Amino acid sequence: ILAKVLGKLCLLVRASLCVPHRRAMPKACGGSQEQASSTALGVGSRVGSALSVESRTKSIEDLYNESGDDKVIRDMTYTQIQEAFPMACYCSPDGPVRPCRFQPLGHSGRLPLLRKLVWAWPCFGFYALMFLKIGYMRKFYVDDYPKASLGIIAFSSVLSVLVDAFTDPKMATWTDNLKSKYGRRRPFIFVSALFVPLVFILAWLPLFVSSGFAASIWYGFFHVMFKLANTLFMIPLEAFGAQLTPVYKEKTNVWQWKDIIANVGLLFGMALAPMIFLTEQCTSTPDGGCWELPLITLVFGGFFTHACLQLCWWGKEPATSLSDSQHEQQQQQQQPKHSVFLAQDTIPTLIATFLNKPFRILLLSDIAKALGQEIPINVLPFITAWVLGEKCFGSGMLFPCLVLLNMVAGLIGVPCWTALASKTSKYHAYVAFNCSLAVTSMSFILLRYDDDSCFYSHMAFFLCASFGFA
């Protein structure tokens, strides 16, 4: 520790003597041209973790050092960091890349807001499609002309989760090991741009089969396909997001933008669009069909396709040559060739994950989250119609209003939870999140069939708001 502190003090003294006014370190002061460029941009070089000499802006290493961990960019040259994180912007007043128009001080290796939004924007269309399906498809298949079986619907839900559990590790391994000139993530995002909207649109069109058992099988098949579409899109997208920047705080900001855009998509797909465009034929007329829901799905599918294609066109990924050597080392460390299983196979991966204590804690937390967060949203359409009744509000209007309130409260809660995590820690904020989620989820058991006083309907508004904030 003492040697590291003395080394940083020596570098700081040398920078103050040899690099006045944020100029690059000249060769006469003991630095090569590459080191001079690295110092001017505030990026570490091979000779050590060089400090930024820019007084007006924080460099990528300064931001990363604030988290107490700079292992990602330590001992990397400017060229290597540029290749490893190509989505970051390396503009600087004294560097080879001139500052951006609205950033006169330069980004100095940080991630511009527009590039964060380009990566997160496909989540708007996807979450709108997904929660439009979650909010209205089951009730449509049960109450309208498909007359689907609730038993087959429940069985398809369980089957889709099992399929998802085995396909997720395969998808992760596939996208990590893909060698393509277009990158490891973008080819899958490009395919999902066409595959995902097709699955959602066909899922709303059981008119190609007869009602009853055939419609139930139609729902089950496309529900499994929905899980596969989710795997095809979300795993490469989230892996893409994890490699956008090495800066700890910027990663938090990147995923915060993703959460905000996802909540906005959920708001439009589950509340605003149905409230505006759905007619009485879709909400309360049995056996009448509904053409508005497939049309809304088509519109959101267009948004999703456009966003994915935009990300494929403007997005940049690290060169595959940077990870080839790592993959070769991992393959050499795997079991012998005569072994039946490899380390990256599904079953060994699941076992290794379960044997990891931190993952076991997260697994228990995810189970509680699935029970507490997914079930209320999935059964909310039936709560409004079968539990609360329609003495005070029609179920077709009460459900989107509850969802709208839930999503607005969720958007308000995002900066509050972010502030709590920054004030305490992500761990303590995550514990508080799970506790609040448990309390707000269990509170839904208080709802009863409403009478003329509308007490339970008003309670539903309060519970949905608190559940959304949590």
Segment 77-129, tens digit of pLDDT: 667 777 888 888 888 777 777 777 777 777 777 888 899 999 999 999 999 99
Whether residue 265 has pLDDT greater than 80:
yes
Segment 314-330, tens digit of pLDDT: 988 887 655 555 555 55
Whether residue 37 has pLDDT greater than 60:
no
Residues 6+ apart with CB under 8 A from 133: 200, 203, 226
Confidence of residue 59 (pLDDT cuts 50, 70, 90): low
| Angle between helix 292-314 and 186-203 (nearest 10) | 180
- Using a 10 angstrom Cβ sphere, with 0-12 exposed, 13-18 middle and 19 or more buried, the burial of residue 434 is middle
Burial 17-47 (b: 16+ CB within 10 A, else e): ebbeebebbeeeeebeeebbbbbbbbbbbee
Q: Say if CB 120 and CB 258 are below 8 A apart.
A: yes
Q: Give residue 42's pLDDT.
A: 39
The alpha carbon torsion through 386, 387, 390, 395 (nearest 10 deg) reads -70
What is the percentage of the chain residues whose pLDDT exceeds 70? 71
| Two tokens, residue 281 | 């034929």
Segment 431-447, tens digit of pLDDT: 888 788 888 888 888 88
Q: Give residue 309's pLDDT.
A: 95
Whether residue 231 has pLDDT greater than 90:
yes
Q: Give residue 17's pLDDT.
A: 36
